[in-house]
Amino acid sequence: MSSNGKAKHVKVLILGSGPTGYSAALYAARAELQPVVLTGMQLGGQAALTYTIENYPGFPEGVGGAQLGELFQKQAEHFGAVTEFDTANEVDLSRRPFKVIADSGEYLADVLIIGTGASPNHLNIPGEVELTGRGVSYCATCDGWFFKDKKVVVVGGGDSALEEGLFITRYASSVTIIHRRDEFRASPILQKRAKEHPKINFILDTVVTEVIGTDKLEAVRLKNVKTGEETIYETDGLFIFIGHTPNTQMFRGQLEMSDLGYIKVNEKMETSVPGVFAAGEAADPHFRQVVTSAGMGAAAAIQATRFLEAESE
Ligand code: NAP
């Protein structure tokens, strides 16, 4: 890393420290490009908040999300990747080197690999913001323990809702999964496990319209979408798992994106700006798995290496 004024100049700057970021870092490091990884706010990304990952190949018994994140980091650093505990806030991709303004200063990058991932969606209903951290949560691994022997409600019908709901049964006395339809998009294996679990019950065709409580969560207001009937449901915890939004706001107007904010990439992980690559959930509305994000991160780094090589020829 060399210094240009106050800015740090790096060959390959990687935004994000999840499976995408560290897989890209591993490949870029092994290509001797001394990549620098800006961790973002959550070291290890979303995967690190997952209790067990059962579908990452190579771990037949499953592996802890945080543990897998540490292994990714260790492997990339072993080959020379550098981790900076820093978060990018602004970018200028109009000329090279690309400028990235982070919490602790400015970076100039010959090549940028975006692995900023996605963040959990909110219901955007009254009381949700006020009671977040006081009974409302978006992370079972982080907060499940607080609900020992308590009643918990989980919102959503995807893999996250069912997987996290199953996880919370370790602590809670009961877990009620509330879903807006009567069919789940979660994988059949998770549906089977959840339906057979003695602590889990379901309220279907129902949405949560209000989070009720003063100092802490006391109840949720429910509305049956078919009958319109409203009820108050008492609960100690409300876990919301209703999908994700890609963390791509800072690239708006600079990179081509889909209407939903996913960065558009071709099969080589190239974005609309030469020298900028994107991978993982920031660019992938379809698969969003640890293994696919890691694969895309590796592909982005391979292509970034080719890009730099072609320039130096
Ligand atoms: P998801 O698959 O997009 O599911 C979101 C769920 O939330 C859907 O059931 C959706 O209902 C519901 N929902 C969305 N907006 C809502 C709202 N405003 N009010 C009420 N309900 C709402 O999201 P995800 O479960 O977070 O999964 C994201 C990706 O990660 C998926 O590709 C998933 O396969 C993957 N993932 C995989 C694993 C695993 O393999 N073990 C674990 C976790 C996540 P509708 O069904 O009606 O749209």
Is the CB–ligand 1 distance for residue 155 below 6 Å?
A: yes
Please tell me the distance from the alpha carbon of residue 2 to that of residue 304, in angstroms, as a whole number. Answer: 19
Please give the pLDDT value at position 49: 85
Q: Examine the domain organization and report whether 222 and 129 are in the same domain.
A: yes
Residue 250 sits in the same domain as residue 299: yes
In a domain, 33, yes or no: yes
Identify whether 219 is part of a domain: yes
CATH number at residue 265: 3.50.50.60
Specify the residue for token string 């939004």: 245
Segments of the chain with pLDDT less than 70: 1-5
Domain end position, chosen among 221, 240, 259: 240
Domains in the chain, number: 2
DSSP 265-284: --TT-B-SSTTEEE-GGGT-
Whether residue 97 has a cis bond before it, omega within 30° of 0: yes
Residue carrying the six token digits 């740090």: 8
Q: Is 222 a member of any domain? A: yes
Cross-strand pairs, 112: 13, 276
Question: Among 32, 26, 103, which residue's Cα sits nearest to residue 72?
Answer: 26
Handedness of CA 245, 248, 254, 257 (dihedral sign): negative
User: Of 240, 260, 286, which residue sits at a domain end?
Assistant: 240
122 lines ligand 1 (CB under 6 A): no
**Cα(1) to centroid of ligand 1, in Å?**
40
Whether the predicted model's global pTM rises above the 0.95 cut: no
Quote the tokens at residue 278: 């994107």
SS3 assignment, position 295: helix
Pick from 229, 89, 126, 237: which is nearest to 176 by CA? 237
| Interatomic CA distance for residues 144 and 165, integer angstroms | 10
pLDDT for 50: 84
Q: In sequence order, what are the residues at sequence separation of 6 or more whose Cβ sits closer than 8 angstroms to the Cβ of residue 73?
A: 17, 22, 43, 44, 83
Contact 276, 248 (CB under 8 A): no
- Element (H or E) spanning 49, and its range? none
Residue 195 within any structural domain of the chain: yes
**Structural domain containing residue 192:** 122-240
- For residues 194 and 130, state if they share a domain: yes
Crossing angle for the helix pair 159-168 and 188-196, to the nearest 10 degrees: 30
Residue 171 lies in a domain: yes
| Ligand 1 center to 186 CA (angstroms) | 7
- pLDDT given at position 5: 55
pLDDT in tens, 182-212: 999 999 999 999 999 999 999 999 999 999 9
Give yes or no: residues 54 and 155 share one domain: no
C-alpha distances out from residue 15 to 163, 266, 285, Å: 28, 19, 18
Ligand 1 lined by 288 (C-beta under 6 Å): yes
Residues forming beta bridges with residue 213, ordered by sequence position: 217
Question: Cα separation of 305 and 64, whole Å?
Answer: 31
**CB 180 less than 6 A from any atom of ligand 1:** yes
pLDDT of residue 3: 46
Asked whether 247 lines ligand 1 (CB < 6 A), one says no
pLDDT at residue 52, rounded to an integer: 85
Which residue's CA lies nearest to atom 2 of ligand 1?
158
**Ligand 1 centroid to 188 CA: how many Å?**
14
Question: Is residue 129 domain-shared with residue 235, that is, in the same domain?
Answer: yes
From 59, 63, 180, give the residue whose CB has the most ligand 1 atoms within 8 Å, as the site to mutate: 180
b/e per residue, 180-215, with b = 16+ CB within 10 A? eeeebebeeebbebbeeeebbebbbebbbebbbbee
Radius of gyration of the chain (CA): 21
Do 128 and 136 touch, CB atoms closer than 8 A?
A: yes
Ligand 1 pocket check for 138: Cβ under 6 Å? no
Give residue-wise pLDDT tens across range 159-168.
999 999 999 9
Q: How far is the CA of 158 from the centre of ligand 1 (A)?
A: 3
